[in-house]
Structure 1
Amino acid sequence: MTSSQDAPRPSTASPPGELSGRTAIVTGGSGGIGSAIARALSARGATVAVVDADDRARAVAADVAGFAVLGDLTAADAPQRVVDQVVAETGSLDVLVNAAGIQVRTAAVDIAAQDWERLLSVNLTAAYRLTQAAVKFLTANRGSIVNIVSLSSDRAVAGIVPYGATKAGLLQLTKGLAVELGPQGIRVNAVAPGYVVTPMTAEKLGDPEFHDRVMSRIPLGRLADGGDVADVVSFLASDAARYVTGAVLPVDGGYSIT
């Protein structure tokens, strides 16, 4: 991995849509992808609620002039509490980005029961329940939901099969919600990142053999960083994508077509 991949490059894309006056929730906001999304939405004028169980969310919130909402989204009362807190703080909710996610690397038949339940709770159930809590506010504002899925949502990847199953569920949830919520003016889309340089992927991508194998399949010739994903999320959240719903946009440098 080259040194240029070690830190995210600042976005150079022109803002695809103005988000001034809008409020966005970004879950997993302290992570590599989540924090980049928070920064991209803020740069386009949105007020961003950075949601995470990790206290580092406070630093991200300060960086984007937003505010942090700390807590474990798998707790029974967490989704409603998060939405209520954001609306109480800002008076509105326009964008929900479900970026929170965890990964467990193991053979599918060997995964511990508690790890399976945790994957489901964080990667799928939390996004579903947050959507339930947010719908009435998103309806009022003709808002947008963007779910972060994965290339493993629709393909088998050995070693992360349970993770892929949860992301496949989130992908299907995206499409189903797009059909059901479209008449209420809510757009629901997904972004499927490829190999992105983040703390979660650092160990795997640090393996020279694995790194070289991945790079051999990326036509654009580089790994992604959080900003590459964040700019696409910003587009989907904006009025530039006003007639886009139920879409799943791969952000993988062409990996999925090789």
Structure 2
Amino acid sequence: MDLNLHGRVALVTGGSKGIGLAVVRTLIEEGAFVVAASRSASPGLTALDGPNLLHVAGDLMDSAFPEQLVARTVEAFGGLDVLVNNAGGPPPGVVLPRGPFLDGGDDDWRAIFEFNLFAVLRLTRVAMPHLLERGGAIVNVSSTLAHQPATNNYEYAAAKAALSHAAKGLAEEFGPRGVRVNTVSPGVVRTNWWTDEGGVADMFAGAMGVDKDTLLDKTLPEMLRLSTGRFVEPQEIADAVVLLASPRSGSTNGSDFVVDGGLLKEM
């Protein structure tokens, strides 16, 4: 299916690995010009190098960076049609998952909200005039934790819930002016955060007395009651993101697409 993205300009945050890298790759395959923003490049991103890709290094928690990022995008490719706010999770120096509520203080909450909410809104504010010029689309990557609170990661879940809420309001305000805003909420996704050496999977595996592969392939899918029996792959999130970014989704606005392997059970 042609998603009508050929020649359109997309800006993807957190574009060097995981979900973001899969989104960048898919947009390029669809013929889009893509600006991938991240703190640093990666082998996976470097492998995509070509005339349709520009990597801009920077920190979204730096309040000056969004202006610079959008300016580089417009300078390189002449405008902006799609914004994918994918960057999220723990900012530098913060370790997730975090335990019970009393384990975190104000600074912990501020850091998570700064990266997962305020940085997104700051970039959206800068990008919106350009999106309005061309009738663009915004896709925010949220989380199933925005739907299903748990007794850990309070600040992350709250920040993602606020992001999903803000997206609904933005869709209502800017949809009539030609900019659609939608959300994708992943469940547990097989990304570097889980799989890297010394990452979360190693931590859980050590605590539970199983090897990492068993944990990822069997133990956690069973514990989380994933009806598909496995973690979500980054490409599956990217497919939903790119479909929502496409003009083929022209009547989809203010929606939240859950891609979670059957994690959420409620209606």
Common fold by TM > 0.5: yes
Question: Per-residue deviation at 1:59?
Answer: 5.5
The answer on whether the counterparts of 1:149 and 1:191 sit within 8 Å (CA) in structure 2 is yes
Deviations 1:156-177 (A, max 9, x none): 1222111101101110011010
Which residue of the partner structure matches residue 25 of structure 1? 11
Which residue of the partner structure matches residue 147 of structure 1? 140
Which is further off, 155-164 or 42-51?
A: 155-164
Partner SS, residue 146 of structure 1 = strand
CA distance in 2, matches of 1:144, 1:177: 11
Matches within 5 A, 1:122-201: 122-201=115-194
Q: Give the unaligned 5+ runs of structure 1.
A: 1-13
Q: Give the unaligned 5+ runs of structure 2.
A: 91-95, 209-214
The answer on whether the counterparts of 1:26 and 1:99 sit within 8 Å (CA) in structure 2 is yes
Which is further off, 113-122 or 74-83?
A: 113-122
What percentage of residue pairs aligned between the two structures are identical?
35
Please say if 1:105 is aligned against 2:97. yes
Which residue identity lines up with residue 152 of structure 1 in the other structure? L
Which is further off, 191-200 or 47-56?
A: 47-56
CA distance in 2, matches of 1:166, 1:76: 18
Which residue identity lines up with residue 144 of structure 2 in the other structure? L
Question: Per-residue deviation at 1:110?
Answer: 1.7
Between structure 1 and structure 2, the one with the greater Rg is: 2
Superposition TM-score, scaled by structure 1 size: 0.88
Which residue of the partner structure matches residue 4 of structure 1? none
Please say if 1:234 is aligned against 2:234. no
Partner SS, residue 252 of structure 2 = coil
Question: Per-residue deviation at 1:199?
Answer: 1.3
Question: Per-residue deviation at 1:55?
Answer: 3.4
- Kindly report the root-mean-square deviation, in angstroms, between the aligned alpha carbons of the 2 structures: 1.9
CA distance in 2, matches of 1:26, 1:37: 8
- Taking structure 1 as reference, are residues 158 and 72 closer, same or farther at Cα in structure 2, changes over 3 Å only? same
Kindly indicate whether structure 1 or structure 2 has the higher relative contact order, using CA contacts under 8 Å at least 6 residues apart. Answer: 1
Which residue of the partner structure matches residue 96 of structure 1? 83
Deviations 1:3-57 (A, max 9, x none): xxxxxxxxxxx55x1211101000011131111111111111111101011233x
Superposition TM-score, scaled by structure 2 size: 0.85
Question: Per-residue deviation at 1:115?
Answer: 3.0
CA distance in 2, matches of 1:95, 1:84: 14
CA distance in 1, matches of 2:49, 2:247: 21
Matches within 5 A, 1:237-252: 237-252=245-260
The answer on whether the counterparts of 2:17 and 2:44 sit within 8 Å (CA) in structure 1 is no
Which residue of the partner structure matches residue 211 of structure 2? none
Which residue of the partner structure matches residue 221 of structure 1? 229
Partner SS, residue 26 of structure 2 = helix
